[in-house]
Structure 1
């Protein structure tokens, strides 16, 4: 058969052709800094250099497997022929199981018609933005935080990034939130927090939820909140996760909860997530997700439903997962703390929740001018790959970085700390 090389028909100037073809919104979209760094890590590893990859917010299957009940359940559902389209907002079994999970965990009463399932957490998050935000509306998030800048850009909102402080575990104060949401259409909150590995104090969350209620008194168009809790089950030392509607039930009309099996089942590639929101809003999110075709695969939904609806098996899995995560985070934090006690210019915040550690290298003004120069030095001289907080919209050269333990084992961590110490001592 003769074949035609279609690339011969493309214009010579690809950039000009792209700008002529796509919308201004698409043309202005930035690529992911995290993916760029991941490419550098792969290149060094291909050359045989020892690199501890603390960059990815993912689980390397060689380190973290999904629950056996989930993998066997998916295989069983495939064998049973569950390969057709699911309902646009999720199979009834999963929606009911999620509603029961919410009641068990936080003592708030919701039913299956509050649940809208999507292919991971991102489609429900994007759908929530589309539900509530028009171009020119004001939206608010608190830095550092994952990906809100991209969603604001896609929706054409006037977005306000509010800076937080390390002494507050990188969460906003109640006063900051109360001030920021005046006249805003959407506010985003995430706990446990990506990228910092910290958890919001329950009393602070209570105050924030009450501030949301107060702001909406007398407003024609309410300020809504996206509360992203995809890491809720991964906590240090059994620290409890707090839910805004459990603390302040009056906030319920204004809160969209986001959750997924991606993190607390180590199932990032299986793409099952959901939003929990009032039924009169759920029907509109269902329509959005349906038209995007962003539903989760039927076998994965059904298998996830069985495990979510089995409290004993789910709790046993959480114990195993938290042991795996905590052993890595504690080893990493202890190693950095030992270097700090030695007088080396590093620091970290003790792990609280999620799979991340906030890591600081205090070298700005000591031969280094930017976080990027420190990041590159860490990679080249210590084989330690990290992500600067600028990847999460945080401005300034503060020396703060995210470290993720999803792709590393204890040997990787010990080796990384040893190389880091040696590199710092050479300065």
Structure 2
């Protein structure tokens, strides 16, 4: 899977670092590629998944190149591989490489898209009740600065966006943007993003997706979805390094959006009085970046593609279903997931215990179990509507196993029998 040694004096072929064949997942190979599974049980993939060895190898190799040759010189040696990152991300979401920007994180990627939109006083932004606070705060900022209006799309009986309600709301000519997460950080449904896209396109309204919890988790095809813009991160289900994300902007829209920030990478100085913004999505980037992390991000995308995202999604659904079934057997525990299509993010509450207490208790087990709290501050509207203060979030990935879930359940059963 990984070469024992590499030539530090020349670029390399990523395919030499890993190889998968066929559509069937080899769980043993996934775990062999993931050193972290030997010491922890990791159910915090919606926060930051465990990085596989092939990604670590790519990043380590480039840091060694920088140490030997210098940062600029090392970057010059891997210029083709850096361009390959755009090809890989484009393939992941069925886009064109020129529609991809690689940015230092998904938050900044989303910001670069949102703040470039020419929203005017009276323009309406439609979002879901599961919108992440990091996105909702910018809505409020532009409400204050520009006078935009924010409206929530009601949920249907399953707890996901009501398509009938959305269609009605889109009849208002003031609606300028539909913006929401594919999957909420606090669980919730996999939103019907293709149907939402069809309605937005028919109404001539821009469509921005936060795919932080979706990329690498579920198959994403921007052509089928119909979104104009999409932002996602490296560190979650794509299993890449922290501090990396990407932005997709449809080519027909890209040249009509002027980024809030420009530098000599996003634009060129033509004369002492004039400049020109580049034509592709790299206009949303800046010149300086973490080259090792960028290459690692590309390797993580290649790993997901080689493993097969459809197979990953099928495996995640199976594990999440097993986890929900087992959780139902724990006294005093309530599963808090909603939606027709549920994701690999499984949320629950346990009588007498806060989510932070359970995180600490599970982390203190003989073999550490990683979960995380999700509080109302992250998804305030959804949590308030459902009467929740916080939930425990256990998010599974393809490399997790049923036996690891059994260990989690045994611990929760023990906690439930103890006096709070």
Query: TM tier, shorter chain?
Result: 0.5 to 0.7
TM-score where L is the length of structure 2: 0.62
Q: Distance in 1 between matches of 2:359 and 2:187?
A: 20
- The Cα of 1:279 is off from its aligned counterpart by 5.3
Name the structure 1 match of 2:57: 72
For residue 391 of structure 1, give the secondary structure of its aligned residue in structure 2.
Answer: coil
Q: Distance in 2 between matches of 1:288 and 1:274?
A: 15
Name the structure 2 match of 1:177: 166
For residue 116 of structure 1, give the secondary structure of its aligned residue in structure 2.
Answer: strand
Q: Distance in 1 between matches of 2:111 and 2:316?
A: 29
Name the structure 2 match of 1:219: none
Name the structure 2 match of 1:4: none
Name the structure 2 match of 1:115: 100
**Corresponding residue to 2:250 among 273, 277, 280:** 277
- 8 A contact 1:228–1:257 mirrored in 2: yes
Name the structure 2 match of 1:155: 142
**Corresponding residue to 1:401 among 383, 391, 397:** 391
Q: Distance in 2 between matches of 1:320 and 1:280?
A: 32
Name the structure 2 match of 1:226: 208
The answer to whether residue 417 in structure 2 is matched with residue 422 in structure 1 is: yes
Structure in which a larger fraction of residues adopt strand: 2
Q: Distance in 2 between matches of 1:263 and 1:380?
A: 21
Change in CA separation of 1:272 and 1:380 when aligned onto 2, cut-off 3 Å: closer
TM-score where L is the length of structure 1: 0.61
Change in CA separation of 1:284 and 1:406 when aligned onto 2, cut-off 3 Å: same
TM-superposition CA deviations, 1:9-68 (whole Å, max 9, x none): xxxxxxxxxxxxxxxxxxxxxxxxxxxxxxxxxxxxxxxxxxx99889423xxxx53122
For residue 165 of structure 2, give the secondary structure of its aligned residue in structure 1.
Answer: helix
Name the structure 1 match of 2:125: 139
**Corresponding residue to 2:236 among 263, 268, 277:** 263
For residue 212 of structure 2, give the secondary structure of its aligned residue in structure 1.
Answer: coil
- The Cα of 1:159 is off from its aligned counterpart by 1.8
TM-superposition CA deviations, 1:55-86 (whole Å, max 9, x none): 89423xxxx53122211111222333373498
Name the structure 2 match of 1:198: 189
Q: Distance in 2 between matches of 1:304 and 1:233?
A: 12
Q: Distance in 2 between matches of 1:380 and 1:264?
A: 23
Q: Distance in 2 between matches of 1:335 and 1:320?
A: 23
- The Cα of 1:378 is off from its aligned counterpart by 6.8
- 8 A contact 2:46–2:237 mirrored in 1: no
TM-superposition CA deviations, 1:88-111 (whole Å, max 9, x none): xx95332233223333xxxxxx42
- The Cα of 1:172 is off from its aligned counterpart by 0.6
The answer to whether residue 224 in structure 2 is matched with residue 246 in structure 1 is: yes
Change in CA separation of 1:332 and 1:207 when aligned onto 2, cut-off 3 Å: closer
Q: Distance in 1 between matches of 2:262 and 2:342?
A: 30
- The Cα of 1:174 is off from its aligned counterpart by 1.2
**Corresponding residue to 2:345 among 324, 332, 356:** 356
Q: Distance in 2 between matches of 1:177 and 1:295?
A: 40
- 8 A contact 2:219–2:310 mirrored in 1: no
For residue 126 of structure 2, give the secondary structure of its aligned residue in structure 1.
Answer: strand
- 8 A contact 1:114–1:278 mirrored in 2: yes
Change in CA separation of 1:78 and 1:387 when aligned onto 2, cut-off 3 Å: closer
Change in CA separation of 1:295 and 1:139 when aligned onto 2, cut-off 3 Å: farther
Change in CA separation of 1:263 and 1:144 when aligned onto 2, cut-off 3 Å: same
- The Cα of 1:139 is off from its aligned counterpart by 1.5
Q: Distance in 1 between matches of 2:55 and 2:356?
A: 39
TM-superposition CA deviations, 1:343-362 (whole Å, max 9, x none): x462343895655224367x
Name the structure 2 match of 1:93: 84
TM-superposition CA deviations, 1:283-312 (whole Å, max 9, x none): 84667365885864222223433554x47x
TM-superposition CA deviations, 1:318-344 (whole Å, max 9, x none): 6997699668745642332113xx6x4
- 8 A contact 2:209–2:230 mirrored in 1: yes
